[in-house]
A and B are shown apart, each in its own frame.
Chain A
């Protein structure tokens, strides 16, 4: 019931108005029954919009009440001045004046206290005015029924105000409590957000730092390779050339025993220099394959061409990844192709590289016997560790009997 009247204020207050009309209908009697009825209905009607426009409704009702007091006369019984008009007799106080109390209650409940106090004052003033207006007609003795009614009206007004105000107080208290709760919640939310922002900032910092480290180490390897290339390798090549000259000179000289011994030594030194050159080359290439400078596609093509198992290659990336990522993709492909040659017994393999949302996805497939898996300390575990340093991923699809597809996903930039 309470729920219904809250969710349907207009209907509920309409019923209330009908009730008031019904209560007051007992007074619609005599010559002016129609006028009394009209005033009662008007008064009752003011409660209908009470919740939407409490102050306006109250004002209208109090004006009607004041008019009754100013113009109306007491109901039947006493001597009344006869203006010869039906009007004054029709403006008696009616039961419908209860509407004023209802509206006072509403103003007290729904509007600030300063507004409701004004309304209360208006009601009390009305009650006083009613007493002043009608008491003399009752022979000035305060015990008369109308006087009692007027006094009752004042008391009722006070009661209505207190009731409404207490409801307002409960509302306000609940409202303040909800405000406090909301403030606390907002503060907690702000704290949480600050912590999240801090964590995000930290993550970003770490990511940047890691990217720097990865790039730096790639750059360092490249520098080492270049130092080897420009330093030891070239010096050794020049040395080998000189030794070659000496050896060939000695060979041409066809000298005596001493020169034979020298020739042997020169030949040995020459051979050593050449072998060292080959070793250095492999070492430097392992540190940083120079072909990577020409892009991942070129590097993978060279890798595919030197593979023991025929390799199909397909590279479709629009933008060059950072050098560190290119190097990582290259070494992963090298390791995977070496695995194919060593373990799979495959007759062919394929390397496919494509870009996807700024990431590099490389898939190495073979038609071998399958059964590749992550084993602690194994080659794939090593690869996984490697790609994880840059937030990369490794996927293995290798059922027994094959085929095998290993997918490596790397960010475009470390």
Chain B
């Protein structure tokens, strides 16, 4: 994960834009452009074709969902460019829209996550490499409000934890690290969860995340 990434940052708040640029640079990444609005973002992405673009949802001129729309169109035009949308708020609707069509290299995180710098940078890296990242808060909301409450109730507490981490986009190894259990045990949990929920098992981390999100959101 320590491979140097080429990154474009779109964030209208200068303090956050500069902070991110410095932090990422210090960790050895190359911030090729740091812009403050969606139009400049499109331009920067077209010019630099970065590994990943970190995009604030609310930017000028309307301060509503420019970032979200820009992320979708960037992903449509340049599927190889990872897009990590980050926002002060998390809306499951935006998440569902962003993850519609089983995309690869898409992330959606709460802005607070920058506080845990290493985790945040790890998420950026995952998105840059075609992975999927979904904020734990969104996953929590999806789990809580899922219409599949009946089948979710059949999961053990441990399995729910694992499902939550799957939905966040974690690999088996990462889940094993997070829960301090062996990867073999994680595999067993995953197989059990997918069987209980009637989902087709998949070795592909990314497809697995999408399946989980779709299931929870349906």
Contacts and interface: CB of A to CB of B under 8 A. Distances in A.
A278 B23 CA distance: 22
A230 B63 CA distance: 10
A284 B63 CA distance: 15
B114 A241 contact: yes
Per DSSP, chain B at the interface is helix
Contacts of A248: 117-118
Nearest to A312: B147
Contact of B93 (A234, A245, A281, A291): A291
A226 B112 contact: no
Interface string A121-158: 00000000000000000000000000000000000000
A308 B112 contact: no
Contacts of A17: none
Per DSSP, chain A at the interface is helix
Nearest to A285: B89
A274 B93 contact: no
B65 A281 contact: no
Contact of A245 (B63, B117, B145, B149): B117
B19 interface: yes
B141 A305 contact: yes
Contacts of B20: 241
A294 B64 contact: yes
A350 interface: no
A230 B13 contact: yes
Given A248-B118, A274-B115, A281-B112, A308 B93 contact: no
B19 A294 contact: no
Contacts of B110: 281
Nearest to A298: B93
Contact of A291 (B16, B23, B89): B89
A304 B93 CA distance: 10
A324 to B, nearest CB: 17
Interface in A232-288: 233-235, 237-238, 240-245, 248, 270, 273-274, 277-278, 281, 284-285
A315 interface: no
A293 B111 contact: no
A238 to B, nearest CB: 4
Contact of A244 (B65, B92, B93, B117): B117
A259 B49 CA distance: 42
B13 A278 contact: no
Contact of A238 (B19, B58, B147, B217): B19
A277 B112 contact: yes
A290 interface: yes
A273 B141 contact: no
A305 B15 contact: no
A82 to B, nearest CB: 121
A245 B89 contact: no
B114 A244 contact: yes
16 contacts: A229-B88, A234-B13, A234-B15, A234-B16, A237-B88, A237-B112, A237-B115, A238-B15, A238-B16, A240-B114, A285-B89, A302-B91, A305-B141, A305-B217, A306-B144, A308-B144
Interface in B1-30: 12-13, 15-16, 19-20, 23, 26
B43 to A, nearest CB: 23
Nearest to A273: B115
Contacts of A306: 92, 141, 144-145
B98 to A, nearest CB: 13
A307 interface: yes
Contacts of B12: 230
Most chain B CB within 10 A, of A229, A237, A308, is at: A237
Contacts of B217: 305
B114 A237 contact: yes
A226 B114 CA distance: 20
Given A230-B13, A290-B58, A305 B145 contact: yes
Interface string B131-161: 0000000000110110101000000000000
